[in-house]
Amino acid sequence: MSLSSSLSNALSGMRVGQNSLEVLSRNVSNSGTPGYHKQSLSVIDTVAGASSYARSGTVERAFNKSLQVYYTNAVSDTAYSGTRAASLDRLQAFLGMPGKAGSLDTMFGNLQNAFQALSTSPDNYASRATVVTQAQAMATTLNSLTRDVQSLRQEAENEMAATVDRLNLAVTSLKSVNDKLGDLSSDNATRATLMDQRDRLVSEIAELMDVRVDYRSDDTVALMTRSGVGILDGSAARFNFTPAGALSADKQFSADPAKNSVGRLTLSTASGSTIDLVQQRVLQSGKLGALVELRDETLVAAQGQLDEIAAGLAQAMSTVKTAGTAASSGTQNGYTLDLSGVRTGNDFVLSYKSGGVDKAVRVVNVGDPSKLPLDYVDATGARVVGMDFSAGSAAVAAGLQGVLGSGLTVSASGNSLTVLDDGATNATDVNALTARTTATALQNGDAALNLFVDTNNADFTNSLDGKTQKLGFAGRIAVNASVLIDNTLLVKATPTSSLGDPSRVDYLLDQLQNATFASSQTGPASAGSFRLSGSVGDLIAQTMNYTGSLSELATSDASTQQMAMDSLDERMQSEYGVNVDEEMARLIELQNAYAANSRVIAAVQELMNRLMEL
């Protein structure tokens, strides 16, 4: 090898060493920078004639596409599960631990105990006052829980607005990075820095919503949701959120824009079209997806359960049961029932046997035509049918006949409805026909009492008209103002009743403990359907157990996702992170190589000097 070749080789080695030191210094200085991907310099061995030398190649950035895609999905799912778990944990805390002071079941237990004490001494003023106090405490607890649930919904809505602002900023920044990466004339170090920024922005967007990432050959990226809606591809889409102001129980999401009363979340695409992200169920994960689910499903279901409890509490106290009178026609037997006292929301129940199977139909008075037809099976297995009683008993009879078919005979006369079996055929039997109405006065002789009322001291009849009376009732339930003024109404069913007569108190206590109710269906689709049924105490226990289970599952899921995320972080750190010890070892290698090349250059210089002296 000639002296010139040796000198050239040594100089090329020093240039490669210098470039490698630059890359190494960047790695060490960014060893603690989040999202930094370690870099390395490729070295190319080049043959020129009879000699070979090294030259610097490209700066390579650590990157694993499949790992990055997996990581992006995990970021979305971790944010989704964490957001849900935090909100549900607070919801469970609001309800309280079963049996603990201040919890919903404890407050109800205190009310029952107060009634039991009053039953033994109805003439005792202190006992009556205690019942009133515990009734107020129960109503106040339901009011407070409603405010808590609506506060969580409001927080979710506010967070949605803030999240949309962050999303727009991140997407706009990512578009800017894409534009710079599209300029292929930039040096390798600059491009590596831009790609680090690109991946950080993708992770930030993935935390806020679910995304699918397409890595292009020019190092730019395109984004879309998992459901296939484009977010960024050359041009960027824009997220928009229109808030609805203060939320309340009666403000809920509706696919009909005219009926929707919560904040609207839309996406304006680059082509100019607008997509309603909630209505079209675009969001599947990420913080934003969890916030939408909490606001529109999970917390709405929680409010529905509280309303079921409040409605059961009011109806247990105020319901007057009127059994039908026996009726017959030839060999047919059954019952006749007066419908004149059945107000909107009240109902009557027909129990019958067909083919040896016990069945039940509950017919509800519905005055709002928009709520009809109404036909479903409740949590107890009874068929619930809505009818407009204002059309008269004949119309109710005709409607009920259509529901029952030919096995039973339904007829009407005046305000009365008659249901008869099939007579001698003996395939059907009418077991009972009972009206369930709301007490209309405080001292008309009925043992029932409107102890719990709606706004402005209005009777709670469970009317389905308009937005339905049950909707948000837990936030409005109160103790009857007349009872607050005169607690003897808890005992005296008539003005002349004796204060020592426990009949009314015993009836109210029995209703409180044994009156049964059944919801249609509550609970978010993601958590499976959940229906309440049983006494008021059962409704409370089921609600607390359901919320506790939902919170526990959410916490477990969040923990599982976080563990998976931690594992991915470790793998990302292993593949992308800077190991300072390794870099220092590499530095020693470069120092040794630099020293060796320096010695070669010194030797060549000495030889050249000797030659010049000859």
pLDDT-based confidence at 19, cuts 50/70/90? low
Residues 417 and 299: their CA atoms lie apart, in Å, by: 41
For the segment 236-257, the average pLDDT, to the nearest whole number, is 93
Q: Is residue 267 within 8 Å of residue 238, measured between CB atoms?
A: yes
Position 179 confidence tier, pLDDT thresholds 50, 70, 90: very high
Per the CB < 8 A criterion, the answer to whether 326 and 348 are in contact is no
Count the Cβ atoms, other than its own, within 10 Å of residue 277: 23
- For the CA atoms of 571, 577, 579, 583, the dihedral, rounded to the nearest 10 degrees, stands at 140
Is the pLDDT at 523 greater than 50, yes or no?
Answer: no
pLDDT of amino acid 50: 53
Structure tokens at 177: 């990075």
Query: Whose structure tokens read 């003023």?
Result: 125
Return d(Cα 594, Cα 585) in angstroms, integer: 14
Residue labelled with tokens 């929301």: 345
Query: What does pLDDT average to over the chain?
Result: 88
pLDDT at position 528 is 45
HSE of 236, CA atoms in CB hemisphere, 13 A: 17
Instruction: Kindly indicate the confidence band of residue 209, based on its pLDDT and cuts at 50, 70 and 90.
Output: very high
Burial 181-211 (b: 16+ CB within 10 A, else e): beeeeeebeebbbbbbbbbbbbbbbbbbbbb
* pTM of the model as a whole: 0.87
The verdict on whether omega for the bond into residue 257 sits within 30 degrees of 0, i.e. cis, is: no
Residue 590's closest CA among 46, 40, 191? 40
Which pLDDT value is given to residue 524? Answer: 45
Mean pLDDT of 140-169: 97
| Spatial separation of the C-alpha atoms in residues 439 and 364, rounded to whole Å | 17
**Does residue 5 carry a pLDDT above 90?**
no
Structure tokens at 306: 């509280």
